[in-house]
Structure 1
Amino acid sequence: MNRILSKKQYQVPKLNINKIFQSILLLILILIFPYETFAKKEQKTIIKLNDDISQVHIANTYDFFLDTAAAYSIEDITKEHLQSQFQKVTDSHVLFDYLDSPIWMRFTVQNDQTLSNHSWYLESWGFDIKNITFYFPNQDGTFETSTAGFERPFEERKIKHKNFNYFLDLRPNETKTFYLKVQRSYNQEFSFHLRTNEKFLVHSLNEYFLLGIYYGVLIIILTFNLYLFYRLRDTLYLYFPCLILACIWFSLGRDGLGFQFLWPNAPWVNKLNNEKFIELIIILSTLLFSDRFVQKYTKSKRVLTFTYIAILLKLILFVSQIFIYELNYIAYIVITIIILSIPFSMGLYALIKAKIYSWSYTFAYLCLFLVIVYSYSKSIQLFSSPVINWYFVYPVIFMEMILFSFSIFNQLKFLQNQFLEANKEKTIALERNNQLTQELNSKLKEKVRARTEKIERMAADLAKKNVELQTTNLKLQELNSQVTQINNYLTENNALLKSSVEEVTKDLALMKGLDFEDFKSVFPDKETCLKFLSELKWKDKYHCKKCDYNKFTEGPNHGRRCKNCNYYESPTVDTLFHKLKFPIEKAFYILYLSNRKDVDLTLNELSEILELRRETCWAFKNKIAQAMEKVGHNTDLNGWEALALVHLE
């Protein structure tokens, strides 16, 4: 009995398995449900604002939801079952990949400020966000939308600012949840800020002020180089402005100012600016500028050849990236830097060989390499701040332009020194040449003066002797003609001598001088008469009738033109033949006959011989008679040529 009792005492009761399972399940549910409820309450990230802050950098204090199907609207997103799917952001990129899917972002802001005069703005930094839509909650549970992005016209923005800014209608002790729907084109880093109205204005003004300084300096450098190109016509000062314009375009597209002020209604320009086209322009401009810069110091065909090779390689790489096969950005950067390094190293070697050490040019080229690297800062995170990553390229471009400008100034100074040295040597050579020229001119002037005086004396003597010789020749010809005529008459009269003594006497009586035909052999034409008259008139020396100057030039018809007053004087002026109305050679013959006593032709005979009107012959003979009377001409003492220079008017 005791043993039996003892067995019953130690016997284990039989367990009910179903009841135990139900109890455990109930316990698990009791433990899990409160946790899930608490988790749902704690899942939403809240941004709290108080009186001590004026701006908040929202890095990881918002939630996101990936809409892979792009099928949800704001009404769907605000439903409870989708609200529970929002995740807390742990990285500024939100998430990687899924570039074709929109991302919903949720901001819950709790305003614990006591000041009612503060208004808050949400700023979404990052100009190159493809599309961003902000949803403002209304009192009735609906949402008001505001859409922007670099693919949409700028005028659609409610706040005209290069960044995406939204006014939060948030009063003290009020909590609101805002939503953003974002579509991106690459794994960009997001940066959101909450700022008061005062802080937003200060931040915007500072940002625009610094960018204004940046663009202002670039425009000043651009204007100066365009002026140099206008003045010097050197392509160096055209390539550099092209580089500056490309950098300005690159910067305007990078910070959004271009979209705000230059092409607000052309969003396609933003896409063009984000492509590799603007980088191509920067590199090509730099290569051309660099080559021209080196060529102004030293003419190097090798640098020129490698520059053209680099340009060709860069164009091939550009076409390949756009149309054929897109390389990884690291490989692309490495290849681009190698292409640039070849002409740069060749140019640097040429400068060093010519003993030209342009450190500003070298460092400017290194800045270009940094620009290429930092242009991909949206993919390469060199700094923890996305703003610094994005804007760090600006001071690099700024330094590049300044250093290139310094190198241009140094080159201008170098060329100016060369120009001054060349001018100095040229001046010395010119002074020597001038001195030699002056010495030679002095000697030549002295010789010319002596020679001229000698020639003038000889010319005067020759002119005088020539007149005398012509007069003597004329007399000899006259005598020769008379002898010839006498001989002819003797020959003829020898045959007629026996037949008629009276005829011989008559013929001999007619031999009183030269007939007209014989006289014409001495003075055959007008040219001969005018030449004889000119030499006879100015046989002593020429003096101008107007200014009495004694230097002349030979004019037409053997006249003379004064070298001082340009007055022209004909040989017939102030002579017996002035204003003569019939050929001067016939007048010469009439004058010749008037001085001979042994020749006495009637007017009819003279008219018939000369083929002139009787009145004409009488008038000129009368004129000769007046001249004889005026000068008291004696036919025995004076020759007939003396009457030629008598002026009756």
Structure 2
Amino acid sequence: MDKFYRKIFVLLCAIASIFSFSAFAQSSNYTFQINDQLDERIYAIDRLTFYEDESNKLELDDILSSSISGKLKINSDFTKHQFSTENTYWVKVAIQKTPTSNKQWLLEFYDQTIDQITAYIPTEDGFKELKLGDQAPFNDRVFSHKNFQIPVANQTEGIDTYYFKIKSSQKADVRIAFRSYNRFIFYALNEYFLYGIFYGMILIISLYNGLIYLAIKEVKYLYYVFYLMSVGIYAACVDGIAFQYLWPDHPGWNQPASGLFSYLIVIFALLFSTHFLNLKRRFPSMHRSFQVILLVKTMLFAAGIAFFPKLLEIQIYDIVPFFLILFSSIYVWVKGYSVARLFVIAYAILFLGVALKVMVHTAIIPHSTVLYYSLHIAFLMEMLLLTLALGDRVKILKENRDRALLRSLRQAEANAKLKDKVNRELEQRVNERTQELDKKNQLLLEYNQQILAKDEEIKRMNSMLDKDIWKLKSQIKENLQARITNKRMSYADFQKIFPDSTSCLRYLEQVKWENGFTCKACEHKKSSKSSKIFHRRCSRCGHIESATAGTIFHGIRLPIEKAFYLSYTVISEHDKLTLDELSKLLDLRVNAISSFRVKVKLQLEMKGIHHPEWEDIVLERSHELN
């Protein structure tokens, strides 16, 4: 028990000695005193002697002059939020040397984003100038480290005064650490070890999700890989790791690269969230809001690259996309999408980390180590949770699929039972129906026998009818022939037989091809119907022949029914009509009637027919051709 109290007493004494030493150092004419018992001391700008140069024209000689040197004072109320990017800051650090110290010492600036730090290191001849900052090539640094270090000489006694000229385009966290090499090496090794774990996890998780994308081709995994890579490179830009390892000879890339990858983080976070949460279907209004944010963020990035570089820095409005992602995930989760449960936790942590980082960067809240690395911690936890969320999504979808499969199996079993029941009922009905059909088939056979008997009787009656029809047709033909050969018909009687051109052509077709068709071109005996009525086409050569071809009526200009009657008047024994009477009767010109009658008579005389019959006139040329 006594040992415990002694340890407590020693600890309290050590703490008291540290505070008393710090108070002594602040009240004396030096900032730090080399003491092997204190491996590290860290002062922010509110505990340092500095002067704000609003003219940006002062040089070291001006600072050393009596008119300005007195203005370098400690301002305990000064914060990072008051840091002006338009002014230059001169910081004075006085170090009480202790040559008997067994350690080597250095000064270190933590903020890797400071653009320009000009260190004026005291020497025997005055001051040596050393250019530092993220606008200077990385290889110009004394130590190959992401922070800015200045070695401290300790060979002689006395006080060395170091001056630092600081200029930055963004609010700088001017914080100087005075530490031994041992402490620096221990700190740097542990810090880089943790960075290796952080970036290694990003790389491994990116490769893992990239392989998953190649396997299942879901675009959300590809967006997640791009998101992780953007997070990794942006964090490397903030930490100074990217400048050290990726573009050490191009300091001008630091600010654009930081702006580019902070922009890509927002873009791929929104795209990944949209697909993971399926916002297009589950939250359409927020899906449209995401599209608007993508457009606005792209416009701000383009304006930052082209005109306003300050827009590339992290701003307070950068927390808006992550807030909307968090709100969307909570909304979708509350609406029953259980896949989003880990997603909500992941983005709640990330939103908190981004909010803290933005407030620290804009000096809304004071700096601390935990707050400085809040974004790294948030990214790391969010990355792990999102990876688990993707796995959880697969698990939930698999469970849903299994439940659906189980429901399908149960439904299939129910369907099988129902099918068996239906089949049994169908078989029973089929048997009943079969028996009923057998009875009806037997009845149909009986009816069929009766129908066959009736059919025989009908055939006999049809035979008798065919005979009667044949006799009737013969009588009609004989009557028609008798009427036509009757040479004493009047025009009215003749019109009853041949009332129009169709009846005349039909009569010619019947008489001409009554005994079969013979092609006048190739003498082929077979023909087919032509596209024109009262024409026939030879099946061999394709010659088309009309019903009037080879008759006295072929090519005439008179109506054929009137030409028929004029032909009939040649053989008619009825009252002979004069040409004028025929002209009035048929409504034809006298010359046309006379010419056609002469043509008929001339053909009959050429054939030597002195007592012609009707068919001699109708088919007299066809007889000649045949």
TM-score where L is the length of structure 2: 0.55
Cα deviation, residue 313, structure 1: 4.4
Structure-2 change in CA distance of 1:207 and 1:150 (3 Å): same
State the alpha-carbon separation in 2 of the partners of residues 54 and 331 from structure 1: 34
2: CA distance, partners of 1:328 / 1:227: 36
Match of 1:67 in 2: 53
Q: 1:414 to 1:94 in 2, by over 3 A?
A: closer
Structure 1 equivalent of residue 261 of structure 2: 278
One-letter amino acid matched to 1:288: L
> How much does 1:404 deviate?
1.2
Aligned to 2:393: 411
Matches within 5 A, 1:329-408: 333=316, 337-338=319-320, 341-342=323-324, 345-346=327-328, 348-356=330-338, 358-381=340-363, 384-408=366-390
Kept in 2: contact 1:382–1:389 (CA 8 A): no
Distance 1:61 1:110 in 2: 17
Match of 2:220 among 233, 236, 242: 236
Match of 2:149 in 1: 165
Distance 1:414 1:158, change over 3 A: same
CA shift digits 1:129-180 (9 cap, x unpaired): 110111221122x222221111121111121110001111113633211111
Map 1:586-625 to 2 at 5 A: none
Name the structure 1 match of 2:123: 138
1:125 matches 2:118: no
- Matched residue, 2:229: 245
The residue number in structure 2 matching 1:204 is 188
Q: Report whether the alignment pairs 1:85 with 2:71.
A: yes
Query: Any conservation in 2 of the 1:170–1:176 contact (CA below 8 Å)?
Result: no
Map of 1:56 onto structure 2: 41
Counterparts of residues 211-226 of structure 1 (less than 5 Å):
211-226=195-210
Give the Å deviation of 1:198: 0.6
Q: SS where residue 144 of structure 1 aligns?
A: strand
Q: Deviations over 1:358-417 (max 9, x none)?
A: 331112222332343234234444654444332221111111111211211100112233
Distance 2:363 2:90 in 1: 24
Counterpart contact for 1:93–1:190, Cα < 8 Å: no
- The CA deviation at 1:309 is 3.8
User: Structure 2 matches for 1:259-298, cutoff 5 A?
Assistant: 259-275=243-259, 277-295=260-278
Q: CA, structure 1 residues 377+250, in 2 after alignment: closer, same or farther (shift >3 Å)?
A: farther
CA RMSD of aligned residues (A): 3.8
Secondary structure in structure 1 of the residue aligned to 2:389: helix
Question: Residue 82 of structure 2 is aligned with which of 70, 86, 96?
Answer: 96
Is the alpha carbon distance of 1:48 and 1:395 closer, same or farther for their aligned partners in structure 2, counting shifts above 3 Å?
A: same
CA contact (8 A) 1:124 1:191 kept: yes
**CA shift digits 1:110-134 (9 cap, x unpaired):** 024633x211010111000110111
The answer (yes or no) to whether the contact 2:49–2:74 under 8 Å persists in 1 is yes
- Between the aligned partners of 1:366 and 1:272, the Cα distance in structure 2 is 28
1:96 is displaced (CA, Å) by 3.1
Whole-angstrom distance in 1 between the partners of 2:80 and 2:288: 48
**What SS does structure 1 have at the residue aligned with 2:376?**
helix
Q: What TM-score does the superposition give when structure 1 sets the normalisation length?
A: 0.54
Q: Is the deviation greater in 155-164 or in 378-387?
A: 378-387
8 A Cα contact 2:110 2:148, kept in partner: yes
- Distance change in 2, residues 1:137/1:95 (3 Å): farther
From the superposition, tell whether residues 164 and 182 of structure 1 become closer, same or farther in structure 2 (CA, over 3 Å): same
Secondary structure of the structure 1 residue equivalent to 2:76: coil
Residues 83/312 of structure 1: CA separation in 2 closer, same or farther (3 Å cut): closer
Offset of residue 77 of structure 1: 3.1
Alpha-carbon distance, 1:314 to partner: 3.9
Distance 2:27 2:406 in 1: 87
Matches of 2:152 and 2:144, distance apart in 1: 16
The answer as to whether partners of 1:310 and 1:342 remain within 8 angstroms in 2 is: no
CA distance in 2, matches of 1:76, 1:330: 33
Amino acid at match of 2:274: D
User: Any stretches of 5+ residues in structure 2 without a counterpart?
Assistant: 1-25, 420-626
CA contact (8 A) 2:256 2:312 kept: no
Which aligned pairs between 1:174-573 and structure 2 lie closer than 5 A? 174-275=158-259, 277-295=260-278, 304-316=287-299, 333=316, 337-338=319-320, 341-342=323-324, 345-346=327-328, 348-356=330-338, 358-381=340-363, 384-421=366-403
CA drift of 1:337 comes to 4.8
Q: What residue identity is the alignment partner of 2:378?
A: V
Which residue identity lines up with residue 405 of structure 1 in the other structure? Answer: T
Q: Partner residue of 1:105?
A: 91
* Gaps in structure 1 of 5+ consecutive residues: 1-40, 437-649
Alignment partners' CA distance in 2, 1:84 and 1:383: 31
Structure 2 CA distance for partners of 1:349 and 1:43, relative to 1, 3 Å: closer
Q: Report the alpha carbon displacement of residue 49 of structure 1 after superposing the two structures with TM.
A: 2.4
What is the CA-CA distance between 1:247 and the residue it aligns to? 1.1
What is the distance in 2 between the residues matched to 1:63 and 1:69? 19
Q: 1:217 to 1:42 in 2, by over 3 A?
A: closer
Task: In structure 2, give the amino acid aligned to 1:70.
Answer: N
